[in-house]
Structures are given as structure tokens and as C-alpha cells.
Structure 1
Amino acid sequence: MEESAARRAQIVAEITAATGIDDGMIERLVGTFYARVREDAVLGPVFEAHVTDWDVHLAQMRLFWSSVTLMSGRYHGRPMPKHLNLPVDARHFDHWLRLFEATAREVCPPAAADYFLERARRIASHLEYGVATRHGASLAPGERFVNPALPAGQVA
């Protein structure tokens, strides 16, 4: 077990050295991004309808990104069930990614932004697949989910 912990610490040190990602950067990215989400015409209403305590949500997102980027193991939630019944589809995930990328590129140095974005794209793809499956869609490789229950012009 000690060898595993030592290896994890070495990997995290390498990630931090290569990207500069630390808890402070995660806090700035999460805070800036979700401030923008709350003001966003597309994403704001979705989040406002489902997030009842923003302080708790932001704390969870900081733990989530710490676990995703620094393998901290701090996040113990289950994100998929929280997303399955949201009124979203590929257009929302694409919009979320564009906003996240713009924020990461502004808030983080390039290596850190790239690192966050690589993971964000995988997460968005995984969540989109889960939402699609929840709606009975069977996606072929590369196919995207468009929720027929949502108005066509709803998402930019």
C-alpha cells in the first residue's frame, strides 16, 4: 500500500510540475466557470432549476476536479445519476465545453487548460452517452444525442 501511495504522490507531483494545477487553480477555475454558467442564457436555467445550494455545489465541484486532475480521491459522489434526468443533449454538452474551454484558457496556463480540457471532453462525452441511454437512444460510435423533447432552437 505504501508503494501505491508513493507512486500516486509521484504522479501528482509530476502533474503539478507540468501543469501548475493545484487547489488554488482549481478553486479559481470552478468559481469563475460557474459564475459564468449562472449568467449563461442556455446553461443558467438548467442549473438554477437543479442546484439548490450553490455553496455546496461549488465545494463538490472543487472536490470533483481535484479528484479528476490530481487524483486526490476527495470526491465521493456519483455524477451520472445527477445528470440523467436533466433536460439536456449534445447541444448543451457542446455549449458547456465551449464555456469551460474559454474559462480554462483565461484562468489557467496553457498546459493546465489543456489538461483540464482533455478530461472535461471525456466527462462530457460519458455524461452525454448516459443521458442518451436514459432516453432510450442507442448511439453508434461518433453519433451525438439530440433530445427530441427539447425545442430545436433552444441551444446555441
Structure 2
Amino acid sequence: MSIEVKDIAAVSEQQIRQLVDLFYDKVRADPELGPIFERVIQEQWEPHLRKMYDFWSSVMLTTGRYKGQPVAVHKRIEGLEIGLFDRWLALFGESCAELLDSETASLFWRKAVRIAESLKFALFYRPDRPWPPIGAP
């Protein structure tokens, strides 16, 4: 299902900022994700948040502000496991539900699921192994 222009009108830059901020507050407090993010981002949270505002603005509003390579960045993260994407999605879903009306939350959620699946596939798929990986949640 694609997002239509009328759906995009329901999303604002302010909502994107609030969602990103709430989500990353949850990530930083999370016992599984927090240590990984703290190790990778260290004291660079403001630049990371600005990049995520641009990322979600590009995803949801097609602004084209994000200029990055998420697969390459995630490939360099030591200790990143496929199951952590499910935790990421759970926290993202909680953040959407707390902050947004159900329709807008659903727009973000559908995009987040596609992004997580795309990253999992790019980072962990190997043609010589079963998919999804055995033992993955």
C-alpha cells in the first residue's frame, strides 16, 4: 500500500521532530539498544538527531533532505544483530502510538517496517543461508 498525497498532508515537520526525539529517548533508555547507540554515537546526539529529522522528512514528506547511506553505516556497527531490529520497531511503534493519531501513526509504522525489513535483508541476507536466519526472532 502506498502513501497518497492526502496522507502526506497529515504529517508535519513538527510531528517528525517530536517522534524522533521521543523514539530516541526510548532507545537511549533501552537495555538492548541503548548501549549500542551510546557506543556508536557517543557525544554526537545532536548531529544524529538532525540527520534523523532529515531522514524521516525525506521518507514521509519526500523532501530529499537526507543525504546518507544507511546500509553502509549500519554495516559498520559492531554487535548489530538481526533481532535488534524487532526491538527498534517495538520502540518506534510505542512512540508512534503515544504521540500520533492512529492514522498518522499507521503511516509512519508502515514505512518503519519497510525500512527495518530492507536493512535486515541488506545486512544479514546471504544466498547460501536460509531466510529468515535460523534462530532469528
**Structure 2 length normalisation: TM-score?**
0.86
Question: Hey, what's the Cα distance between the residues in 2 that align with 1:122 and 1:140?
Answer: 20
Unaligned runs of 5+ in 1: 1-10, 148-155
Match of 1:80 in 2: 71
1:131 positional shift:
1.6
* Aligned partner letter, 1:104: C
Unaligned runs of 5+ in 2: none
Question: Hey, what's the Cα distance between the residues in 2 that align with 1:46 and 1:131?
Answer: 16
Identity among equivalent positions (%) equals: 34
Match of 2:54 in 1: 63
**SS of alignment partner, residue 131 of structure 1:** helix
Q: Structure 1 runs of 4+ off > 4 angstroms?
A: none
1:130 aligns with 2:122: yes
Aligned pairs for 1:90-129 (under 5 A) are: 90-129=82-121
1:145 positional shift:
6.8
Q: 1:48 to 1:131 in 2, by over 3 A?
A: same
Q: Which segment drifts farther, 109-118 or 83-92? A: 83-92
Aligned residues: 131
1:90 positional shift:
2.4
CA RMSD in angstroms comes to 2.0
1:129 positional shift:
1.3
1:60 positional shift:
0.3
Q: 1:145 to 1:126 in 2, by over 3 A?
A: farther
**Structure 1 length normalisation: TM-score?**
0.76
* Aligned partner letter, 1:56: P
Match of 1:152 in 2: none
**SS of alignment partner, residue 71 of structure 2:** helix
